[in-house]
Every structure is written in C-alpha cells, then in structure tokens.
C-alpha cells in the first residue's frame, strides 16, 4: 500500500493558549514610554490596542500600561482586549480578563458582555455562553435586548433550537420587547427546522406588535419556502408584502434550483421594470444555473448585460463560467477565461481553484490539475479538503493508486483532515486495485477519527467487492452498515443483486428482492434491469418476461437498457420477428431510438436463425441511421459468414455496404 508510513490519517494540532498574568501592582522606574505622561486617556489606549495587529504585542501593551502609574483600565479597554482575544479564539484569556474586571471593580458594560458571548460563539461554545449569561448579575449588569439577541444568535448558530424558546420566554418575562433583530433570529430558527408555517405566523405577529419586518425577515422566509419547493407560495408572499433585491435573489435562486431558468429571466426583467437594480448575486445565480446545464453562451450574454448595467462581476461570476466550460469539456476556453480573470485583477479563491481542479480531473488532465494545486500553495491559498478530494477522485477514476496515495499523504502532511468524501474516494481506488483489506481498514479507521462512513462509502466498497466476485464479503457488509447506523438504500441492493447474478446465484438474488420489498424500499428501473440482465444471462428467458410483465403492471417506465435486454431475450428464444416488431413499434412511437447494442443483438438473432440476407438489410438500416458498427457487430456477422461459406452472396453484399460506408 502506498500510504506513507507513520503518517496519521488526521493530524490534530492544538493551538497553544497565549499565557499572561496581569499584575496590577505599579512597577517603579518602568522604562515604558507611556510613563512620560502623567495621564494617558482611554481613547489613546483603546486606539493603540485596536490598531496593534499582533495579539502578543497587544497583550504586552495591555499589561505594561496597567502596571504603570499612567492609566487604569476601563470597561472600554477591557472590551477591546476581550474582542481581540475572542477573534483569536483565546477563550482562557477572555475568561481571565472578565474575572479581572470583577476583582478590580470595573463595571461590566453591555458591550463587554456582548464581546464575551461572541467569543464563545466563535469557538462553538454556545452552552458556555448561556451559563455566563445566567451569571450576568454577578458582574453588576442586567440583561438587555441586545444581550438577549446575541445569546439567541449563538444558540441558533449551533442549532440549539430547544434552548431558544425558553430564553425568548425569559426575555418577555423580563418585560423586554423583542426588536426586529430578535424576530429575525426566531424566524431563522423556525425556518431551519422547516417550520415555515410558524415563521409566517411570527411574521404576522411582528406587524401586529408594530415591529415592521425588514429585508432580512422576508429573505429568510422566502429562501426557506423555496428550499422546500414552495416557490409559488414564496413569490405570492413576496409580492404581497413588497420585495427588495435580496428577496428577488431568493426567488430567482429557488427557480434556478428547479431548473426554471426562463421564469428566473422573467423575474429579472420584473426587477428592472420596478426600478430594482439586480446586483452581482442576481446575475451570478442565473449564470451559475445556466452553466450547470452547459449553456455557457447564454451565460456570456448575461455577463455582457451585467457590464451594460454597470454591475461588475465578481470571482463567483467567473467561477460559474469556468464550471460551465469544464462541464462541457472545453478546457482550452476554460484556460483562456482563467487567464483573463487573472489579468483583470480577480484573485482566485479556494472555490475557484477547486472548481478548476475538479474540471481538469473530470477531463482526465491530472498532471495539470496537480500543477494547479501547487500554484494554490504558492499563491497563499492552501488547498482544502474539497480540493484534495477532487484530486483523489480524479486519480481513482483513472485507477491510479500511486497518484491518489501521494495526494492523500500530501493532504495529511499539510494538516488537512479528510472528510467522508475524501475517505470514500480513497476506498474506491483501493478497491479498484483489489486492496479490499486495506479499504476495509480505512472504513474502520473513519469511525475512530470522528468521521463515520456513510451509505455512499459502503456502496463504493460493496461495488468493488461484487465486481471481483467477493459477493459473500459484500453481503456481510449489510450487517456492518447497521452497526454504523448506515441504512442500505436501493443502490446498495442493486450492487448486491448485480454481484449475485454475475455468479449465477439467482435464487439468492430473488430472496434479496423479497428482503428489499419487506424493508419498504421501492425497486427502481436499475433494479429491474439488473435482474432482467442477470436472468437472461442465466438462460431464464421465461422468468425475464414474467418480470417484464410485473414492471408494466406497476407502471415502471422502461428505458433504453430495458428495451435492449428484451430484444436480446427475444433473440435468445429464437423469436426474432418479435424482436423486430418491438424495435419498429417503439421507434415508431418515439419512445426510444435503437442504438448499437439493439442492432447487434438483433443481427445476432437473425444470423442464428439463418437469415443472412435479412441481417444485411438491417446492417444497411443501421448505417443509414448513422450508427457505426463496433467490433462486436462485425464479430457476429463474420462468425455467421464463416458458418455459411457455401453462400457467397452475402459476402458481396457486405463488400457493397462497406464500400458505400
């Protein structure tokens, strides 16, 4: 295995806390410049603390000025220092300073307490912030609406929904009227819980209490409704209460996610007609949606419209266009766009770099993708786990274990912890190289590294095992999935069915189908096609047609794979005329156009029935429809010709067809 020895899968580094002891006893004969002054005012100290970019230097100044005879720290200077420590996630320092204020008898202001709450919020310690909130009176301070709002926001950031309502109730019991910020936090909490009806009622309550909803209020609820697929209802709400650019952006985003791009264009026109200027988010949303479906030319038109209306594109606009080119395999145009973007002063961010790398990997340009990842580091934009995952996946698709392992080791060495996507990509490439025990060890490692495998991870492993005939091991993974609280989905079962049928374990495959149905999982077209193909390969043509009948009764929509399997089944039974009738009927109905597989199966059936003359008629039809025969097609015809050497007529027909082609 190529994973670097002695290299942990996750490098966990704990940032050392900044130690300091604040001695408030005056130091005689201090050499500090501030001793030249008999008094230093609060404004000067707070300004210097704010402007000092280095946290250690700021702390040294904070301590030295406290130990001089020139200044006694105030609530404002404490607040500035607490904010600086909070920005660096130095929670121990924040707590120390808050306690020091209490010892010195410095009154704790609203601003100081808000800074403390925000420090806890920044490091994901909302519960600790709440405990501090309950001690607020110890610091000579009473709760205010602003403090309540910041506590509610900290709880919302960690999805502590069960704690939000009690705090809001306490706020009302304290006789405080919620303001628009309070209501917006509550609206976000309800919408995050998909309780849009409750959010709408709260919106009405705001109006009844004389607190007018603002753009944030409407944008929050409209965005949530769009995410739930309630785009029409969201539009009706927006039109009823009035809407600004942010609300229109939410509506346009909702329409674009449902691929209703034409309606998004109408909304764009409506904005202009109502005198609302679309902003860069509006245009970039539409550009991204168009590029997702490969319509780069129209996206360029939208970009031109942006310039005409004086709205400058940003890095996200260019990244969307880049994605569009790369999705269409237009790497040269993507490269030109990238160079133009750099020339015009747009510095690529990690999203732009990752988009380019993902596109290059998808198009097989792995050397170029790796080169771009090193450019990122040179330009002080370190790759993140998404970047590394794209590279690992690119090497996995190429079956390149060495390349994937080198990227994996580089990711770990750079202190970037792999996520479930990166792990799954690595499992995939290990399976492709038949390193199943190493893949299984990696899956077990995930749980220990607090990154449990998901259903996709197991499906990847099961697919690899089944592809190599290790079906028994794959079947055992169903139980292991339950241990990790991973529910098998229809893809899991489809891979297992394919594995069983590949080794002609038809009875077990049908038993598995029964199990799937008992679990309440709906069979899809892939399931049916897998079973159809497997039973036909096992010579169970009658069973195949029985299954086809079940599909038709259940209203399952047949696809090209299904039709090809049916044609093959008819030909295997010697019912070539039925296969021809099916092909002509479906093609005539516009449901499906035959492809190379359809024609090759049909030619095989015709040749087996001795109809060489008819075979060449269908070969000519095939060529007329622009379908080029492949090796399998010619193999069928040549084998049939050699078995009928006494009949030379078809050989001349074949020469004529090849000459016309």
In a domain, residue 42? The reply is yes
Cβ atoms of residues 400 and 429 within 8 Å? yes
Instruction: Supply the pLDDT for residue 555.
Output: 85
From 89-93, 111-115, 319-323, 590-594, the region with the lowest mean pLDDT: 590-594
Cβ atoms of residues 531 and 517 within 8 Å? no
Alpha-carbon gap, residue 168 to 170, rounded angstroms: 5
Q: What's 57's domain CATH number?
A: 1.25.40.10
Chosen domain end from 419, 453, 487: 453
Cβ atoms of residues 220 and 238 within 8 Å? no
Alpha-carbon gap, residue 33 to 70, rounded angstroms: 10
Alpha-carbon gap, residue 657 to 629, rounded angstroms: 12
Angle at 46 between CA 41 and CA 52, to 5 degrees: 130
Alpha-carbon gap, residue 601 to 647, rounded angstroms: 23
542: which residues sit within 8 A by CB, 6+ positions away?
Answer: none
Alpha-carbon gap, residue 80 to 650, rounded angstroms: 93
Cβ atoms of residues 171 and 145 within 8 Å? yes
Residue showing tokens 């259940």: 554
Average of per-residue pLDDT across 265-292:
91
Average of per-residue pLDDT across 414-430:
93
In a domain, residue 538? The reply is no
CB atoms within 10 A of CB 519: 12
Tens of pLDDT, residues 319-370: 999 999 999 989 899 999 999 999 988 899 999 999 999 999 999 899 999 9
Chosen domain end from 418, 453, 488: 453
Cβ atoms of residues 453 and 484 within 8 Å? yes
Average of per-residue pLDDT across 68-74:
85
Residue 424 sits in which domain range? 348-453
Token pair recorded at residue 491 = 């893809």
**C-alpha dihedral, 573 to 578 to 580 to 585, nearest 10°:** -140
Q: Answer whether residue 13 shows pLDDT above 50.
A: no
Average of per-residue pLDDT across 570-593:
81
CB atoms within 10 A of CB 339: 10
Q: Is 635 helix (H, G, I), strand (E, B) or coil?
A: helix
Cβ atoms of residues 622 and 599 within 8 Å? yes
Q: Answer whether residue 224 shows pLDDT above 70.
A: yes
CB atoms within 10 A of CB 651: 14
In a domain, residue 252? The reply is no
Instruction: Supply the pLDDT for residue 559.
Output: 87
Token pair recorded at residue 75 = 């609530």
In a domain, residue 281? The reply is no
DSSP summary character for residue 591: S
Confidence of residue 613 (pLDDT cuts 50, 70, 90): confident
Domain count, the chain: 3
Q: Answer whether residue 648 shows pLDDT above 60.
A: no
Instruction: Tell me what percent of the residues of the chain surpass a pLDDT of 90.
Output: 42
Please state, rounded to an integer, the average pLDDT across all residues of the chain.
85
Confidence of residue 279 (pLDDT cuts 50, 70, 90): very high
Tens of pLDDT, residues 202-223: 988 888 888 888 889 999 999 9
Confidence of residue 644 (pLDDT cuts 50, 70, 90): low
Query: Chain centroid to CA 256: how far?
Result: 17
Tens of pLDDT, residues 17-68: 444 444 443 334 444 444 443 467 888 998 999 998 898 898 899 988 888 8
Instruction: Supply the pLDDT for residue 242.
Output: 66
Tens of pLDDT, residues 101-113: 888 888 888 998 9
Average of per-residue pLDDT across 450-456:
92
For residues 360-394, b (16+ Cβ closer than 10 Å) or e, as one string?
Answer: bbbbebbebbbebbeebeeeebebbbbbbbbbbbb
Chosen domain end from 123, 157, 176: 176
Alpha-carbon gap, residue 47 to 482, rounded angstroms: 58
What values do phi and psi take at 39, rounded to 5?
-155, 135
In a domain, residue 377? The reply is yes
In a domain, residue 232? The reply is no
Instruction: Supply the pLDDT for residue 325.
Output: 93
Tens of pLDDT, residues 135-155: 898 888 899 999 999 999 999
Cβ atoms of residues 144 and 114 within 8 Å? no
Instruction: Supply the pLDDT for residue 589.
Output: 67
Cβ atoms of residues 424 and 456 within 8 Å? yes
In a domain, residue 293? The reply is no
Sequential DSSP letters for 134-194: HTGGGGT----HHHHHHHHHHHHHTT-HHHHHHHHHHHHHTTPPP-HHHHHHHHHHHHHTT
In a domain, residue 480? The reply is no
Cβ atoms of residues 106 and 76 within 8 Å? no
From 425-439, 533-547, 568-582, 583-597, the region with the lowest mean pLDDT: 583-597
563: which residues sit within 8 A by CB, 6+ positions away?
Answer: 582, 586, 592, 594, 598
Q: How many helices (H) and strands (E) does the chain have?
A: 36, 0
Average of per-residue pLDDT across 642-655:
49
DSSP summary character for residue 538: T
* Better-predicted residue by pLDDT, 322 or 588: 322
Q: What is the pTM of this model?
A: 0.71
Alpha-carbon gap, residue 113 to 79, rounded angstroms: 8
CB atoms within 10 A of CB 344: 10
Alpha-carbon gap, residue 36 to 546, rounded angstroms: 99
* Better-predicted residue by pLDDT, 507 or 27: 507
């Amino acid at each position: 295995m190529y994973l670097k020895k002695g290299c942990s899968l996750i490098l966990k580094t704990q940032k050392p806390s900044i130690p300091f002891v604040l001695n408030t006893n005056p130091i005689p004969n201090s050499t500090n410049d501030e001793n030249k002054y008999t008094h230093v005012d609060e404004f000067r100290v707070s300004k210097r603390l704010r402007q000092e970019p280095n946290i250690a230097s700021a702390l040294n100044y904070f301590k030295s000025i406290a130990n001089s005879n020139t200044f006694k720290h105030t609530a404002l200077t404490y607040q500035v220092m607490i904010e600086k420590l909070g920005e660096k996630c130095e929670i121990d320092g924040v707590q120390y300073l808050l306690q020091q204020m209490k010892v010195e008898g410095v009154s704790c202001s609203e601003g100081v307490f808000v800074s403390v709450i925000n420090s806890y919020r920044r490091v994901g310690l909302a519960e600790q912030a709440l405990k501090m909130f309950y001690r607020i009176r110890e610091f000579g301070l009473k709760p205010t609406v602003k403090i309540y709002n910041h506590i509610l926001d900290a709880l919302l950031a960690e999805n502590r929904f069960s704690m939000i309502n009690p705090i809001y109730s306490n706020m009302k019991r304290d006789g405080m009227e919620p303001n628009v910020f309070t209501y917006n936090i509550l609206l976000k909490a309800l919408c995050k819980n998909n309780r849009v009806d409750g959010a709408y009622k709260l919106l009405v309550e705001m109006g009844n209490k004389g607190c007018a909803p603002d753009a944030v209020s409407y944008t929050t609820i409209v965005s949530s409704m769009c995410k739930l697929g309630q785009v029409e209802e969201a539009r009706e709400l927006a039109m009823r209460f009035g809407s600004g650019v942010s609300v229109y952006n939410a509506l346009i985003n909702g329409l674009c996610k449902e691929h209703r791009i034409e309606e998004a264009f109408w909304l764009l026109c409506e904005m202009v007609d109502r005198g609302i200027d679309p902003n860069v988010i509006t245009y970039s949303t539409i550009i991204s949606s168009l590029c997702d479906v490969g319509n780069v030319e129209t996206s360029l038109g939208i970009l031109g419209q942006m310039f005409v209306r004086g709205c400058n594109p940003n890095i996200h606009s260019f990244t969307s266009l880049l994605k569009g080119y790369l999705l269409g395999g237009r790497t040269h145009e993507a490269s030109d766009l990238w160079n133009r973007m750099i020339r015009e002063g747009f510095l690529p961010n990690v999203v732009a770099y990752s988009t380019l790398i993902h596109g290059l990997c998808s198009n097989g340009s792995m050397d170029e993708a790796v080169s771009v990842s090193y450019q990122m580091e040179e330009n002080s934009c370190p790759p993140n786990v998404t970047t590394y995952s794209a590279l690992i996946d690119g090497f996995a698709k190429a079956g390149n274990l060495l390349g994937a392992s080198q990227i994996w080791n580089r990711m770990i060495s750079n202190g970037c912890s792999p996520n479930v996507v990166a792990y799954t990509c690595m499992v995939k490439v290990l399976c492709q190289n038949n390193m199943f025990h190493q893949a299984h060890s990696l899956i077990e490692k995930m749980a220990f590294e607090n990154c449990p495998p998901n259903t996709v991870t197991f499906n990847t492993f099961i697919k690899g095992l089944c592809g190599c005939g290790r079906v028994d091991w794959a079947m055992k993974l169903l139980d292991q999935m339950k241990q990790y609280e991973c529910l098998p989905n229809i893809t899991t079962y489809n891979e297992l069915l394919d594995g069983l049928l590949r080794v002609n374990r038809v009875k077990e495959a049908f038993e598995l189908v029964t199990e799937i149905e008992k679990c309440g999982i709906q069979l899809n077209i892939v399931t049916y096609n897998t079973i159809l193909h497997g039973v036909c390969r096992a010579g169970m043509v009658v069973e195949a047609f029985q299954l086809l009948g079940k599909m038709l009764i259940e209203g399952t929509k047949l696809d090209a794979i299904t039709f090809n399997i049916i044609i093959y089944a008819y030909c295997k039974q010697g019912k070539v005329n039925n296969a021809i009738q099916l092909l002509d009927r479906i093609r005539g109905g516009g449901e499906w156009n035959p492809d190379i597989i359809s024609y090759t199966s049909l030619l095989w059936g015709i040749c087996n029935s001795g109809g060489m003359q008819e075979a060449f008629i269908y070969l000519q039809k095939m060529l007329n429809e622009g379908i080029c025969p492949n090796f399998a097609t010619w193999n069928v015809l040549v084998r049939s010709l050699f078995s009928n050497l006494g009949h030379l007529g078809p050989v001349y027909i074949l020469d004529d067809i090849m000459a016309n082609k």
